[in-house]
Structure 1
Amino acid sequence: MKIPFSILDVAPIVQGGGIADALQRTVKLAQVAEESGYTRFWLAEHHNAPNIASSATSVVIGHVASHTKTIRVGSGGIMLPNHAPLAIAEQFGTLDALYPGRIDLGLGRAPGTDPITARALRGERHTNGANFPEQLEELQRFMHPTQHAQHAIRAIPGEGADVPIWLLGSSDFSAALAAEKALPFAFAGHFSPTYIVPALKLYKQSYVPSDSQPKPYSMVAVNVIAADTDEEAHYLATSMQQMFLGFIRNQRTPLQPPVQNMDELWTEQEKFMVEQQIGSSIIGSKETIREKIQKLIESTEVDEIMATASIFDLDARIKSFQLFASVMKEIE
């Protein structure tokens, strides 16, 4: 049985490009993903980030869905503490009405930004993620009310929408909650490699079956950068390394072009910190990618792989995802 493969995107803004350019690139990538056999194309919510154009995530999902035909489009994810559950139910109910059977709703509890921006987003609600389980239940009630419940407020659109809810996480909290709620779970291995195996193991061992989701279903997101040779792939990956170096230095800039030598840019300590964050990255030729992906699947027993790639050049980025798709089609 072939393992499904998908894409996580943030509509990256590159040096010398703008927001419109970033969104056009995302649409082009989604169209190539659809042609290449990808299962879903997810967009992530981030704010106050000069390198990310997917802040208005629901809007971008609708834009991508309108320019594709069959691929599932969703959020990876919506940071629920930033929003009123009713608003999310209405937004995704609307998306489902426009693009029936193609929309996913992945939810996270992190802010997706810095504390000051989070406060600006959340206003007087002052949510901090601690009440994420309660927000999740409220959202589920709006989207799937019980038959005999009487609600003064209804999500229209939203009520009865055919939108699967996923929980996303980078630790064991969401893994345990997804298991308790019988929801599919996606782990953010692209920036939290240490906890991939423990979180997925906890999810499967703790899973409480439901009528709608009798078995656990897990997905792991991982950085995948593929090229014709290992050397070329590692060269392309320096854009990603520069991005994570910027996170460490609290310097957010548009995605930078690749460089020949990262040692000219970072200290030994910074190199160690970046490599700790992106240690699960799969970088190389098709042969290298195949070997590393197979090891990841064997160690996690994951049901689906979601690839993300911070590559500066659009053509190189598209080729990387095409190479990854060809590898996944060969893996049983």
Structure 2
Amino acid sequence: MKCGFFHTPYNLPHRTARQVFDWSMKLAQVTDQAGFADFMIGEHHTLAWENIPCPEIIIGAAAALTKNIRFAPMAHLLPYHNPATLAIQIGWLSQVLEGRYFLGVAPGGHHTDAILHGFDGIAPLQAQMFEGLDLIEKVWARQPFKEKTAHFQAGFPGPDDMPGYEVQLANNAPWGGRDNLEIAVTGLTKNSSSLKWAGERNYSPISFFGGTEVMKSHWDTWAAAAESRGFVPDRQRFRITRDIFIADTDAEAKRRAIASGLGDSWREYLFPIYNKFNLFSGIIADSGTGVDPSQVDMDFLAEHVWLCGSPETVIRKLHELAEKTGGWGEIVVNSHDNMDDPAPYFESLQRLAKEVVPNCNVL
């Protein structure tokens, strides 16, 4: 099993852009030195809690400070981008990183981001994502075309498009060719339509945790869709995201987690989101407590939602989860704002990579 990092970024709303940027650089260095495989960065345009509107700038800057970790925008929200421009930027950046890059794509799930870009809401975004990615793939193929779709236009110049003299075209296709570029898609709800689409196109699945039943449905949906198109589903490609906090003892890990940015994010931001998407129902079912969602508090989260405890406890919880869901290839820890007291958080990240992951067998 590998471990990855999802930098949503879940930062306190009063943080300045420079603070978020500098914190991102430090996190990239810490996770790279600890041995993390992947560092994924969200793209959001109006959310004060998740304020990184251009993940590619974080990726470009962090690449020079790290040695081995791979980076990905997770995800570029395709309806908000010109597909031809984005295709060139993605390919060029993957070449700059010489392969330490993969791509996440999504339609965009936040109403205020949609309003910013002139939409009435998020309903039409998924179809536009499909449309945009088809054009991106055509640009990467580097074959002459011109196309206008319902929402976009794009093309690629050929010999008949020269302006009276020969133009040498830059090759801004992905590093190593299109087949060498991994594309990943996230799923949030049960039987995710995004993961069905990902399976049909052989893109990798990432599961946002909403309980074991939801997580299992993410794998089943993706795998069935992949098989329907002749692809062989591989659990090594399956990533799951979790909130994780590790310390010497279970009690100390719980104390640190609740006092950390992890606790802040849930208290002040994530509770309404989980209620909106009815994500507590699966988690409550897993816990066996039968509590009402209104009764979920920090203690409940530390005991039943977060992977919180000593290394031995977290290993046990991961093995129990794998027995119920079938396993995965990469555990991805969510990012939270610990700028004011980073030492316990950095210790937890390092212990995940060095003490927990090497001692887990979840496939």
Range of TM-score over shorter length = 0.7 to 0.9
The 2-side partners of 1:249 and 1:179 are apart by 30
Q: Cα distance 1:13–1:280, how it changes in 2: closer, same or farther (>3 A)?
A: closer
Q: What is the SS of the residue equivalent to 2:44?
A: coil
1:192-231 map, 5 Å: 194-208=213-227, 214-216=232-234, 217-231=237-251
- What displacement does 1:294 show? 1.8
**In terms of mean alpha carbon deviation, does 71-80 or 239-248 score higher?**
239-248
Q: Cα distance 1:94–1:110, how it changes in 2: closer, same or farther (>3 A)?
A: same
The 2-side partners of 1:65 and 1:210 are apart by 35
**Corresponding residue for 1:141?**
138
Amino acid at match of 1:130: A
**Corresponding residue for 1:262?**
none
**Corresponding residue for 2:144?**
150
The 2-side partners of 1:64 and 1:246 are apart by 29
Amino acid at match of 1:30: A
The 2-side partners of 1:94 and 1:125 are apart by 32
In structure 1, list runs of 5 or more residues that go unmatched: 251-267
Structure 1 contact 44–77 (Cα < 8 Å) conserved? yes
Amino acid at match of 2:254: H
The 2-side partners of 1:328 and 1:201 are apart by 24
Amino acid at match of 2:265: M
Determine what percentage of the aligned residue pairs are the same residue: 19
Structure 1 contact 193–280 (Cα < 8 Å) conserved? no
**In terms of mean alpha carbon deviation, does 280-289 or 99-108 score higher?**
280-289
Amino acid at match of 2:185: L
Amino acid at match of 2:215: I
**Corresponding residue for 2:345?**
317
The 2-side partners of 1:315 and 1:122 are apart by 42
Q: Cα distance 1:137–1:269, how it changes in 2: closer, same or farther (>3 A)?
A: same
Q: What is the SS of the residue equivalent to 1:5?
A: strand
Match of 2:185 among 141, 155, 167: 167
The 2-side partners of 1:283 and 1:304 are apart by 18
Q: Cα distance 1:159–1:196, how it changes in 2: closer, same or farther (>3 A)?
A: same
Q: Cα distance 1:71–1:82, how it changes in 2: closer, same or farther (>3 A)?
A: same
- What displacement does 1:26 show? 1.9
The 2-side partners of 1:322 and 1:207 are apart by 35
Structure 2 contact 25–58 (Cα < 8 Å) conserved? no
Q: Cα distance 1:125–1:241, how it changes in 2: closer, same or farther (>3 A)?
A: closer
Q: Cα distance 1:108–1:142, how it changes in 2: closer, same or farther (>3 A)?
A: same
Q: Cα distance 1:9–1:193, how it changes in 2: closer, same or farther (>3 A)?
A: farther
Q: What is the SS of the residue equivalent to 2:156?
A: coil
Kindly name which structure, 1 or 2, has the bigger radius of gyration based on alpha carbons: 2
Q: What is the SS of the residue equivalent to 1:106?
A: strand
Output one character per residue of 1:37-85: Cα deviation in whole Å (capped at 9) or x when no partner: 1111111112323233422111111121121122111122222222222
Q: Cα distance 1:192–1:331, how it changes in 2: closer, same or farther (>3 A)?
A: closer
Q: What is the SS of the residue equivalent to 1:70?
A: coil
- What displacement does 1:241 show? 3.9
Alignment TM-score, normalising by the size of structure 1: 0.80
- What displacement does 1:12 show? 4.5
**Corresponding residue for 1:263?**
none
Match of 1:178 among 181, 186, 198: 198
- What displacement does 1:95 show? 0.9
Structure 1 contact 144–160 (Cα < 8 Å) conserved? no
Root-mean-square deviation (CA, aligned residues, Å) is 3.1
- What displacement does 1:125 show? 12
Q: Cα distance 1:13–1:7, how it changes in 2: closer, same or farther (>3 A)?
A: same
Structure 2 contact 90–174 (Cα < 8 Å) conserved? no
- What displacement does 1:331 show? 2.0
**Corresponding residue for 1:300?**
326
Tell me, yes or no, if structure 1 residue 108 matches structure 2 residue 103: no
Structure 2 contact 13–48 (Cα < 8 Å) conserved? no
The 1-side partners of 2:141 and 2:238 are apart by 22
The 1-side partners of 2:213 and 2:304 are apart by 8
- What displacement does 1:124 show? 11
Alignment TM-score, normalising by the size of structure 2: 0.73
The 2-side partners of 1:317 and 1:311 are apart by 9
Aligned length: 305
Amino acid at match of 2:318: I
